[in-house]
Each structure stands twice: as structure tokens, then as C-alpha cells.
Structure 1
Amino acid sequence: MASIALEIPRGAWRRPIGLPLENPGRSLPEPHVSIDDGYWQGVPLGGIGAGTIGRTYRGDFARWHLDPGRHRYEPLPACMFSIFVEDQSGRLSQALWTEAPSRELAAWPWRYPVGAGFYAALYPRSWFVYEWERLPVRLAVEQFSPVIPHNYRESSYPVAVFLWFIENPTSEPLRVGILFTWQNLLGFGWDHRVPGGGIHRSRAEALASGRMIGVEMMGGEGPAQEPWDGSWALAALEVPGVEVTYRTWFPAEGDGAEIWEDFAADGRLESDAGAISPPEGERAGAGLAATFRLAPGEKRVVPMALAWDLPIVEFGAGDRWYRRHTVFFGRSGRNAWEIAREALERYPAWREGIQAWQRPILSDPTVPDWYLTALFNELYFIADGATAWVVDPADPEGIGRFAQIECYDYPFYETLDVRFYGSFPLLMLWPELEKAVMRDFIATVPQADLTLRTIEANGGQAPRKLPGALPHDLGSPLEAPWRLPNAYRFQDPNIWKDLNSKFVLLLYRDYVFTGDRGLVESGWPAVRMALEYLKLFDRDADGLPENEGLPDQTYDTWPMRGPSAYCGGLWLAALEAAIRMADLVGDPEARSRYEDWLRRARESFEALLWNGQYYRYDALSPHRDSIMADQLAGQWYADLTGLPPIVPEPHILQAFRTIYDYNVRRFAEGRRGAVNGMRPDGTVDRCSNQSAEVWVGVTYALASAMLARGMEEEAWRTAWGAYHVTYEEKGYWFRTPEAWDERGDFRASMYLRPGAIWAIEWVRRR
């Protein structure tokens, strides 16, 4: 274990511990106030679908996504790391948080000095390096969960590993203690109380690498019956020279004097072996301490693990599922200790798996460090996006069902128009999960749900789902995902003009990347149905579906009328993809029909929308001559997947040059990404809130499209603007929003679409 060295890779985002941010971004007031917890954020811990916990760069555990679809932000002081050091001049003990609680645990020494060290993050790993003049030791911790590409086992684990690196740089021996305390969060720590207070008990067992010692917190002896029930465990490895002691219980709402005075006396705890049921109704904590001596110049690595086993997922309509990790640990909910054991045994292999995956990208000298920062850290959403990865009862040994949310403000799973941009990391790193999602969309195409719903934008009535119309989403955690698609009802998704084309393009993209012909063969009837349905909106027989003068696509407050560059271009690319898929499945009749449609549509697209410099926003709206950043979204996918150009080659480059000149360079001095809409006179299109916004995912997609066309300087400058606002200027790290305005104020934090940055990596790998 001592051979494991502290190593913070190139590209890791860094910030002084607890340093406030001047002029952070704020939530935009319109159309509603988004979740805004501020910039105190950090890398989330926890596997895919396991529930996640966010530890901020000031040292507290504050963001809780343990229950899919439910966001809670609240620092819990009892969930804490603390340090003890004794040298010849005396003793020092300190909780490692730059803030202090308002009431509880008042006896603990809080307010670690702001700026005394730094935090670094390169998902899924993060680091605290403590540099305080009062600390006679060099102290750092690396924390991570085993979120490893192409790994469909450990990536689902509800576990976090903490590797403490300690060195004595002095000329005298030191005594060091590291205290890890945790609040029992069964009942999610707030809304439920486990009957009788549950059970806390100490445990110890021999492993090949040492003795595992810690505390297990359970709701009871029998299997968990509720989604808030299960078990938690915190454990450390005792090896020669390291003593691990513990407290099975302490009041997390009191002043904390008893446990702190115990720890501060000698850096250890007076272990209270056995089991205890904390008083019912009280917030209870547990703690463990690793204590050791360091000779001058000596180094030591101390591993600790936190694990939780909350096996049941329940959604708003009452549907219940078992989380993915139960395939490997059973469904009782009493297996947190076993998960922690595997972490303490396997963490070197997990760490090496993460490093081996990232190393080739990090060692590429042709890419800037800021790109690496954004590329890897935007992956936080794979686990943190209210992610559900559950066992499919119809195939309990299979890959399971998977879904990530659009965002917590818009709680919809696998929003189709958004995942068109944001699903690249899922496809490129966990392709079996991407294919599972697409199989779920394939199944929805012929489905009908004629239940009438009120459309929020206009008060009208519309069926929930019409056959042939792709759903906006696969459901909501507030209802019944997979069983009730189309939870969205701000607009009527049955008349959207981008969803069906995007479905066809996603299916073809996934085939191109995976080579799985079976995906195309199983989806072909749905492709044909989707295209026939969308063709019905070509009411004037010009080959292009007409937008209806209201927001009927992903820009759902920005209306289009008549043929539009955005939806028309997606239609052209979808027809090209369908022609390729018709060849794959051997359907010459469909191929011939789509060729006829494409020929007519391409002629109309050029005649109606090309103006010599760019493709007009649409053909008939009052703002039809606006310059849309996303006007060539269809061409973007055509280039990514090797399809023929949807428009003449010279027009592609000219349009991208115009977009770069207007939407990037002339907006906010070229420092905030690509604004969605610009007028030909160089002013921002303010006909809607969305036309005047930068969409982070669209900016990354545009950069990818430019890069695919050889516009390297323009591509990197465009993408840099999105990185700059997120990680340098406005404090959106680990909550990257959908959008911001010219000031940098945001809408819809923690959003799916920014995963489009991985489309840049797609182009680079070609």
C-alpha cells in the first residue's frame, strides 16, 4: 500500500480550499427560478445508479442524491473528516471544514483556514491537499468511486474510497490520528426514522492486506422493506503500525464534546465494542479513527471506505425496482459492510483502472489542459443525474434498465431531444447502457396513451402519447419511468418536429459506434413508423416538415414557422441514416422511398433557407433571418457518422464561419460560448428567452461540428467559452447548467446536455 503515491494528473481542476468566488452566477428569474445551491460543490461520490453524495471543496458533505429524482443540499457536520497531530510542542486537533455549524457539535474546532491548501478534481477522482502552517505533517486525501468505463459491475457500487497520504517532513517523531465520522442516513437522515433507532455495531475481520475495522449502521436485522432502509458502513484497514478505533454511536445533534474530547486527547477513540440501538428519533452518528506514529521522513497511506446499501428504488407512482448493485450483493439491504470490504481489498485495481482509461487522453500534448478539465469533470452527471440503474425483472441477469434525468428542475428521464447531445459519454464509455436506453425508446414508438392532459404553455388539451410520435422522455421519477413515458407537458411533444429525426439519428449513431446490427434490425420497424409520422407534417409537399409557429422542438420557448434550418436539417440527416439502415436490413422499397423524399427535401431546404451566408432560422417567422448557432445540427450528426453531406460542402463551411463570427465572437467578447440566436445586424436575437441564451451542450456540439470540418482554432475557442464560464468565472463546477445569458447568469443547473463535450472527443478519435 505504501507504494501508492499521491498523483494529481494534468487537467485536474484546482481551487484553494474554501475560497469564496467573486461575482458568481445567479439563477435567472424567468421563466422560473432554478435550483441554486451556490458554488460550494465538488466531485460526487457513489457509483452509477447507486445514489451519490457531494463533498464540496470546503470540506463538507452537502449534496445528497440518494433517492432518484430528489435533490437535497444541506451540510451535515457529523459527516466529517478531522485530524490530530502531536509533536514535542503539543497537540493539534481540527475538523477539516472551513465553515462551522450553527448549533450542533459546537465542541468541535471548526473553520479550517480558507486557502490553506487546495482541492483538485478530475472525475471520478478528487483530492484535498492540506497546507496549513500549524500542521507539522504533509497531509492529503484522494477520494473516488469505481466509476470505470466498460465496467458494468463495480461502476454500480454504492461506495467511496478515501486514501489518506501522510508524510512527516520534520526531524522529530509525530503521532497522527485521522477521524472519520458519519451520520446514520437511513431514512435519508431527514424524513423517516428507523424504528427503534436501528442498530449500530462494530465489526472487524481479517483481510489479506490487513484487518478491516469499522462500524455498521443498519435499520434492523431483517431485509429492508422500504427505499429509505438499508445499511451504512465506514471502515479502515488496520496494518502494522496503524491502530483503528471506533465509536459505534454518538449524538449527531448534541455538542459532540464526548467524542471530540476522546479523539483530541490522543488521536484515537475508546472503542465501545458491541451493538447498540441509538435512541429513537435522534440523529445518530458513528466514528472511527486511524492512529499511527511517523518517524522523521516517514510516509504512510491509510485507506478508508464508506459504503451504503439502499437496495430499493421507489418512484412517485409507487413502482419499485432493485438497484443494479443488488445483482452482486443481494437484495437484503444489509450488505454495506461487504461492499466496504470489497473496496478495501480492490481499491488499487479500481484506481489503476481509472488511470489506465484516462492516461492516453491526459498524455496527448495536442489538447489544452482546460479541455481535459471539462471533458472528465462533465462526466459527474453519469452518476449524479438522478440516475436509475435497476434490475429488469424480465431479465434479472441482464444489463438492466438505465435512465438519467434531464435535470432536477425538469425531472424527465432520458429526454430525447437533450440526449441527442448529452448521451455521447454514455455511448462511448458504457455502450451497453446506451443500447438499453435505445431499446426502451424503440418500444415506445407504436405505443398510444390517449389520456388528455393540459398543456402548460397554452392551456390546451392533448393526448399523452400518439402512436408513431417519439416521446419527449421515458417518464419521470415523480411518476413511473418506463411505464409512463412523456411526463413532459409544457408543450405538446406529439407535434415536435425534431424528436423522430433525432431517434433515427441516435439509432444509426449507436450502430456506427458499436457495430451492433441487431440494434438496427430490432429498431427498423420503429424507424419506418417514426419517419412516416413525421412526414405527415409536410403539409405543402415540399419535402420538409413544417414547424407550426409555436415551440415544437427542443427550443421550447422559441417558435419556428414553416420549414426551419434546425428541424429541416435533422430531417435530411435522418433520411440519409434511414437509407443506410435500409441497406443493412435489406429493405429496398423503403430505401427508394426515402431517396425520393430526400431529393425533394434537399432541393427545398436550399431554396427556402440558404441566403448565401448561412441557413435562415426558418422560412416564415418574423425573425426568420436570425443566425441560429444550431442550424447545422443535422450536418453535425452526418459528419460524425460518415453520412453524405446534407447540404453543399461550400455552404457548410460558410455557415460555420458566419456562426463563429456572429454567435461566438460578437457575443460577450467571445468569452461565453455560442449564443443561440443573433440578428444579421450583430445584436442578440431577443424574441424569446432561449434565443438570447447560450446552451452549454449546443456550444460543445458546435465546437465538435467545427472540428470535424477542420476549423480547429474556431472549435477550440468556441468550446473554451463554455469551459471558462463553468470552471473559471461563474462557479458552475459540478452543476453545469443548460443555459446562461450575456451576464453569465444561469437556468437549469445540473443538466444532461453538456455531455456533448464528448462529441469533441469522438471527432478527435476518428
Structure 2
Amino acid sequence: MKLKFISVFAFHVVAFALGLSTVSPAWGADGIPKAAWERPLGLPLANPGVTLKSGDIDDGYWQGVPVGGFGAGTFSRSYRGDFARWHMKAGVHKYEPVYANQFAMFQQSEGDAHGTAQALMNGHPTGGQLSSWQWDYPVGAGNYYALFPKAWFDYKWDKFPAHVTLEQYSPVLPGNYRESSYPVAVYRWHAENPTNKTVVVSVLLSWTNMSGWFRTFTRDFDGAPSQGNYNNYVSEKVGDAGTMKGIVFDRSRSGASPNEWDGQFAIAALESPGVEVTYQTTYQASGDGKAVWAPFSKDGRLTNDTKSWVSDKERLAGAIALRFTLKPGEKKIVPMVLSWDFPVVQFGEGRKWDRKYTDFYGTSGKNAWKIARDGLTQASAWSDAIDKWQAPYVNDESKPLWYRGMLFNELYALTDGGTFWGRQAGADLKGPTSFALLECFDYAYYGTLDVRFYASLPLLKFWPDIDKQVLREFADTVPKEWPELGLWVWKSQILDEPVTHKRKKIGAVPHDLGVPEGDPFIAVNEPGWQDTNNWKDLNSKFVLMVYRDYVLTGRKDTAFLRETWPAVKDAIEYLRQFDHGGGVPENSDYPDQTYDDWVVHGVSAYSGGLWLAALRATEETARILGDRKAVDEYHALFLKGQKTYISQLWNGKYFRYDTSTDSRNDIQTDQLAGQWYANLTGLGDIVPREMQIETAKTIFNFNVMKFGDGQMGAVNGMTEGGEILTNAEAKEVWVGTTLGYAGLLISEGMKDEAWKTTWGLYHVIYETKGYWFRTPEAWDITGNFRAGMYMRPTAVWALEMTPPPTK
């Protein structure tokens, strides 16, 4: 594809063709969707949320939309303008601003003796680093907008005569299993001159050579080595688009095959008529930065210095500047790219994997320039494709504007959640890949099944092949055993003595696919807090997700059903050992489900309802596959279980938490999770419709409206008298389970209640507590949180995917 610098006229033509005309009330005149979350640049937040749990990650609210594709490694620039969050090593979170990674801008009007040069960060380094640069861009001089995978930095400062907006994105695209994996970030500068004088504009991108830095499991860069690093200037003619110029950041290597920390970054831009690219190949990132700032602040150019050396231990950086002139009224869009190539993932026990993007770029770790070239030549097409994907949702005025933005912004976790996507090193490229999100970085389990029951909805909707492959991996584990023993931490604390359990039993669906510090995808079901072999929700959830993936991808993939059918039957049979005669598996007097610190015993609303829905899913699967005997067996078991479930738990207003613990009469928000999935997949009534409606109303009146004045979501549990419970998890709002409940409300025709419930989450995340792009699992009545950057909140897509009731 030939890249042209797009005129504003061409932009509007494309927008009109996509249904994005600026006259649409859902899109602003600047091309930024009105659904995008907005915040003044660098504006601090009063009374932000803090972690409730000592030791949990709490980096604060300086966050932003991440860049990077699925499994490619990700990082993000905060809305104050610093690059601070790094998820480059799979499963590892680092948060530390790297100040030489920075954008800056120079502008000068015709006739002015001097221009204005400014680093585009609302703050400055400490310790004298880059002291020659002009820091502290004014707080509030413009706005930050976010609609994942895009973000916009809209700079409006009275010292800048031209209006410049930076559009940022990676090509995360629906149904796309290639570009969605790319390690590339596109930064398109939208510049407009509203004055009556010609204006020179130059934008600078400086970057640190971070090769070798991503090798530890620590949360910062203390001790990050720079020995052996070096920078190279590269120039290449790219067809009619112009000449691509930039810098590749590399390091010396011990052999042809890269280590996990070996790889490259690259920064690049296109020089063409009217657009000049200059460069400084190498400078010391920890120095005063004069080699860059002195020439840039003079006229917006760098010195075109190609000098390069190999670092002893000093940190190296390089910079490029993209300079152009705007006549009065003129507009231009010019791209920059930042790419990286770190092809190897090596988990704690030493096994090596190749990231998915290496299917297209190879495994040498020396292709950052090639990736950057693709980013430059495809920048416009990718931007348009993202807009086209989002348009039907952001234009849907039947739904609240705040929700339309939340719908996409909560998808950040799909790329930034420690995401892994790849295959074992040296494996056949035609074979399957492994994919998983981390539950979160505090609870670093890959693919946590009880959580992905909620979180995987958008993955299924937009990348169904990936979701089915994940379920195939879980299915493969069901008939297998991992006999080694691990410590059962919760039980050991209760008894004050070590209690062990088998890692994974035959027939049990594992809780997870392993941990980054172990051997994930090989050694599954990492021992930990609870013995999950006897959990009562995992097997049911697995069965329901298999059937869900079949139904929501058109009811055509019978091969997928047939392939997973043995594991589905084994999963159901395994749970039947806990049925003590009533047709419903009974909970075992410990937290044996996703609420893993909330004891449950006997027949329970949550696990029992999931079981009934799973029986219906298994019955329907058997019918599709022509297994008549299984159809009759599962239907009979469902009828028996349904009778027990209702008779033991229904109290006329809701289903009781369970039959035997102190919590037995409590109102649990998630009690109809099985019915939600039944509505989602067309399985029909798990319990009579009038009971569904009455229960949903009770939950709303108590768990939503009696908690935080109805402005914080749905608390997990409430007493029958409307009091907050004392259990650590029962007294929390869980974002993802609240969204599952909101999906249930949609399916029951209770739209007002659904929006009110979901708005409470939005209010906490985006308006009061500063949880944007680090959405936690939970918060309590104070709004303070536990387990940030959690997987489950992507369940916001439950409101889109759960159909309303049929008339």
C-alpha cells in the first residue's frame, strides 16, 4: 500500500464511508468519538483509591491506553505524558517512568524570532536527568481521550499557534489473527494551522535502548543492564511514500539464537516532500540531553549525527524529529512508529516459547525495522479499520454514552493483562498456539477458568478461534492427573499446620493453566490458596463455555463440540460424586468456588445454579451430537436437581446463599449466574421465570441500591435485613460479577436497572477513584481496591451479548 499524507478532505471522505461523518452526534468535529473517555492532560485526582491489601500492586492513577498486540509485550504512556508501565516480559509487571522515552514539540510562527520547544509531559525527571530540556507542560493545556485500542493527546497551549493532536494505537482488530499480534505502536500527528501566518511544526520522539532490561520478575528496572547496547541509524526508500528514517536499538548477543531479553526497539518516520526527518543516533539518557535539546529548540531539527558506540554500563538513547510547515488553514496527518522485536518468552522453569507475531517476522529478534516499515505503510488503513469496528457501538444512541466508551476501554486487559500467545520454540508453525490472559499480576495465574467464565466474552465475540483453542487446552487436561503434592494454604492457616493436596485429579477441570514463574501450559493447576480439585463451579463453567462458544459462533462448529464432548461428559461425571442424593453437587464447607474466601456448604445458589445450567448445556450438546441416551440421562438429572434446588433454596424473594452456613440467608448478587448463561445461550429457564424476575429485583434493591447509595455497583452479599456482611469477599463489589448480573438484567428486560448497576462501576473506575486502565477485581464501601489490572471486568460485553427477552 502506498502511504500518502492524508488531507482533511480525504479523512472526511473515509469517515463518511464508514458512517463516521462529523455530523454524527457520536463523533466530534476533530474525529475523536464522543464516547471516548476524556480527562485534562496531567490533571491530578482528589481522593484516589488505594489498595486494601498490603503488597498488592498500586501504581496510582497515572495510567493510559497500552500499545502492543496480543502476546507481543505491551507498555503505555500515561495521560500526563510519561512512558511508565511495562508488560514486556510475559506475566511480569513493571512500573517506572523512563524519562528519555518522550515526545516533544517545537512550533514557530512566521516572523517570530524564536520558536517554542516543549517536552510533552506534565512533570519532569528528578536528579538532573535531561536537565537541558524544557519540562512541565502545563496541566490542563489540552485533553486526553481514550477508546481502546486508540488514545488521543489533544494539545492546546497558547504558546503553540498550531493545533496538534497525537493519535496513538496498535492494530488490534476483530477477526484478525495476524496484525492483532504485532509489536508496533503507531503515533499519527494531526496538525492544523488556524492562524493567518505560516507555522513550522516539529515533533520529536526520543527513546531509550532498553534491550536487556526485561529479564527479571521485579516490578522496576533496578539493576537493568545496558552493557553491550548500541544504536544504529537506518534509512530506506519506501516506494512512492518517501524515505523511511529512524533508529534501531540493539545489543551484542552471545549467539545466533536470542535470549528472552535480547531484541530490538525501533523508532521511524517517513520523509517526503514538505516533511523532513532528522535524527540523533546516540546520546546518554542519564545526562543533560543537550545533544538533542540544543538543536531541536533552535529550529525543530536534530543534527543528523550517526555516531554510535557500545555501552559499557551507561544508558543510551536516540531521537528523531519530524518537521513540516503549515500554511494558514492547512492541515496534515503525519505518522511515526515505535516497534519492538523480543521474540522469545522464557518462563520460570526455563521452557522457551516463540511469540505469535514471529509466525510472520521470524525468530531472530532483528526485525524491528521491518515491523516499523509495516506500521508506517499501514498506519492509515489500520486507523480506519479500528474506526469501522467501533462505529456500530459508539453510534448506538440507544445506550448511554459513558457505557459505549467503557465497552472498549475495558478491553485493554486483552493485550495488557500479561497476555501470552505463542508456541513452543521450534514447533511446527501449522500447529496450534497457546493463548492466555493472567488473572492479574497479583494473582499471576494464566487462564484462570472460574474468572474467564466472565472475562472471555469479548475474546469469543471478536477472536473466536482463540477462545475455542483455549477451551481445547482445558479439555485436554480433564482426563489427566498431576500427582505431585502442593500446600493448601487456606486449610493450613485454619488448622495451623501444613495441609497438602494433589495438584490435579483426573476429571477435575483445572483452575488455571499454570503460572509465569513455573511451566505454564505444561504444569497446570498451580497449587496455592485453595484445593481447587473439589471446587463446584469449575467443571460446570467449562461445560457452559464450550456450549457458549458453539452457540455464539453460529451453531455450526459441531467438530468443536465433538472434540470436547469426552471432556464435557467427564467433567459432569466428576461433579456427581458430590451429589448426596438430591441431584445437585453439594459444597464442602470451605470456599470451593470463585468466591474463594467465602465458606459455602450443602446445596448453594451459585454452584447449584451453574450445575443446572451445565446439565442443560450437556443435554443440548448430546442432542446435537445424536447421543439419545445421554439426552435422556441429563434431562432427568436436570429435573431432579431443579426440584431440589428450588425446594431447598427458594424463600419467595431470592435463592438463599446455601443451606448450612452462617451465610445461608444472605442475598448473593451472583446467585443466578447459571440462569444468565442459560439466557445467553438459549437454554431456557433453569428456574421459573417469575423466580428469576423476583430474585433480580431483590438483588437490585438490596445489593445495588443499599450499598454506597447505589453508586458503586453490586456488592457480593447482603443480609436479608439490608446490612453489609463482614466476610472479606462478601462485603466487596466485584466488577466482573456485577457485569454478569447486569447481563442477566438485560436478558430479563430490566434495562434501567442494568444501566444503573453498570454506571456505579463506571462512576468508581472513571470518575472518582482513578482505576482507569487498571480496573480491579474488587472494592469495598470506601472505594479502595484489591487486585488491580484484573481479567474479569472485560465482562462488560455481557450487556452487548446477552439477548433481551423474547416478546
Q: Provide the TM-score with structure 1 as the length reference.
A: 0.97
Asked if 1:323 corresponds to 2:363, the answer is no
Note the C-alpha offset of 1:194: 5.5
- The answer to whether 1:458 aligns with 2:491 is yes
Per-residue CA deviation, residues 584-618 of structure 1 (Å, 9 max, x unaligned), is 22222222221222121111001100000000000
Equivalence map 1:296-311=2 (5 Å): 296-311=328-343
Kept in 1: contact 2:120–2:137 (CA 8 A): yes
User: Which of residues 190, 208, 216 in structure 2 aligns to 1:183?
Assistant: 208
Which residue identity lines up with residue 21 of structure 1 in the other structure?
A: L
Q: Is contact 1:236–1:304 with CA below 8 Å preserved after alignment?
A: yes
For 1:725-744, list aligned pairs within 5 A.
725-744=764-783
Q: Is the CA contact (8 Å cut-off) linking 1:66 and 1:188 kept in structure 2?
A: no
Q: In the alignment, which of 610, 621, 644 is matched to residue 570 of structure 1?
A: 610
Deviation at 1:764, TM superposition (A): 5.3
Query: Which of 758, 766, 769 is the aligned partner of 1:719?
Result: 758
Query: Where does residue 22 of structure 1 map in the other structure?
Result: 46
Whether contact under 8 Å (1:126, 1:142) holds in the other structure is yes
Task: Indicate the SS of the match to 2:578.
Answer: coil
Q: How does 1:306-705 map to 2 (within 5 A)?
A: 306-391=338-423, 394-398=427-431, 400-459=433-492, 460-514=499-553, 515=555, 516-538=557-579, 540-686=580-726, 688-705=727-744
Larger deviation, residues 310-319 vs 165-174? 165-174
Identify the residue that residue 201 of structure 1 maps to in structure 2.
Answer: 233
The residue number in structure 2 matching 1:78 is 100
Distance 1:377 1:637, change over 3 A: same
* Displacement of 1:583: 1.1
Is 1:3 aligned to 2:7, yes or no? yes
CA displacement at 1:644 relative to structure 2: 2.0
**The 10-residue stretch of structure 1 (292-301 or 179-188) with the greater mean CA deviation from structure 2:** 292-301
1:757 to 796, 803, 807: 796
Could you list the per-position Cα deviations for residues 38-80 of structure 1 after superposition, in whole angstroms to 9, with x for gaps in the alignment? 0000000111110111110001111000001110011111000
Q: Do the aligned residues in 2 keep the contact of 1:224 with 1:334 (CA within 8 Å)? A: no
What is the aligned partner in structure 1 of residue 272 from structure 2? 239
Is the CA contact (8 Å cut-off) linking 1:193 and 1:280 kept in structure 2?
no
Give the residue type in structure 2 aligned to 1:7: G
Q: Sequence identity of aligned pairs in percent? A: 48
Q: Note the C-alpha offset of 1:399.
A: 5.2
Q: Offset at 1:283?
A: 0.8
In 2: Cα distance, 1:23 partner to 1:160 partner? 33
Deviations 1:321-362 (A, max 9, x none): 001111111111100000000011111111111111111111
Partner of 2:149: 124
Matches of 2:247 and 2:230, distance apart in 1: 13
Question: Aligned in 2, Cα 1:398/1:348: closer, same or farther, shift over 3 Å?
Answer: farther
Q: Is the 8 A contact 1:99 1:110 kept in 2?
A: yes
Q: Which moved more, 1:583-592 or 1:566-575?
A: 583-592
2:36 counterpart residue number: 12
Whether contact under 8 Å (1:182, 1:287) holds in the other structure is yes
| CA deviation string 1:396-436 (max 9, x = no partner) | 13552111100000000110000000000100010011011
Q: 1:265: how far off?
A: 1.5
How many angstroms does 1:299 deviate by?
A: 1.7
2:244 is aligned to 212
Q: What is the identity, as a one-letter code, of the residue corresponding to 2:180?
A: S
How far off its partner does 1:135 sit? 1.2
- Structure 2 Cα separation of the partners of residues 764 and 611 of structure 1: 28
Kept in 1, the 8 Å contact 2:226–2:315? The answer is no
Query: 2-side partners of 1:661 and 1:637: how far apart?
Result: 22
- State whether residues 610 and 616 of structure 1, in contact with CA within 8 Å, keep that contact through their aligned partners in structure 2: yes
Looking at structure 2, the residues matched to 765 and 166 of structure 1 have their Cα atoms a distance apart, in angstroms, of: 44
SS of the equivalent of 1:204 reads strand
How far off is 1:165 after superposition?
A: 1.3
Give the secondary structure class of the aligned counterpart of 1:457: helix
Aligned residues: 761
SS of match in other structure, 2:212: helix
Task: Give, as a single letter, the amino acid of the residue that structure 2 aligns with 1:308.
Answer: W
RMSD: 1.4
Q: Distance in 2 between matches of 1:488 and 1:26?
A: 29
Residues 167-209 of structure 1 show CA distances to partners (whole Å, capped at 9, x for unaligned) of 2222222222111100011012645536532343333333332
Alpha-carbon separation, structure 2, partners of 1:660 and 1:551:
25
Other structure's SS at 1:637 match: helix
In structure 1, the residue corresponding to 2:97 is in which secondary structure?
coil
For the residues of structure 1 that align with 2:235 and 2:398, how far apart are their CA atoms? Answer: 50
- Contact 2:445-2:512 within 8 A present in 1 as well: yes
Q: Report the CA distance shift for 1:106/1:488 in structure 2 as closer, same or farther (over 3 A).
A: farther
* Distance in 2 of aligned mates of 1:598 and 1:176: 69
Cα distance in 2 between the residues matched to 1:224 and 1:97: 38
Contact 1:204–1:214, Cα closer than 8 Å, also in 2: no
Counterpart code for 2:397: P
TM-score by length of 2: 0.93
* SS of aligned partner of 1:458: helix
CA contact under 8 A between 1:421 and 1:755: conserved in structure 2? yes
Letter in 2 for 1:500: N
User: 2-side partners of 1:25 and 1:246: how far apart?
Assistant: 42
Residue number among 67, 81, 87 corresponding to 1:59 in the alignment: 81
Distance 1:765 1:415 in 2: 29
- Ranges in structure 2 where 5+ consecutive residues have no aligned partner: 12-29, 215-220, 493-498
**Do 1:278 and 1:284's aligned partners in 2 also have CA atoms closer than 8 Å?**
no
Name the amino acid aligned to 1:544: V
Cα distance in structure 1, aligned partners of 2:583 and 2:765 = 41
Q: What SS is found at the alignment partner of 2:446?
A: coil
> In the TM superposition, what whole-angstrom CA distance separates every residue of 1:632-682 from its partner, at most 9, and x where no partner exists?
000000000000211111101000010000001111100000000000111
What is the rounded CA distance, in whole Å, between the counterparts of 2:210 and 2:98 in structure 1? Answer: 10
Does the residue aligned with 2:763 lie in a helix, a strand or coil?
A: helix
CA distance in 1, matches of 2:232, 2:64: 29
- List per-residue Cα deviations over 1:13-48 (Å, max 9, x = no partner): 00000000011111003xx44210000000001111
One-letter amino acid matched to 1:264: S
Q: Return structure 1 stretches of 4+ with deviation > 3 angstroms.
A: 189-195, 220-224, 392-395
Among 224, 240, 261, the residue aligned to 1:228: 261
CA distance in 2 between partners of 1:479 and 1:350 (Å)? 36
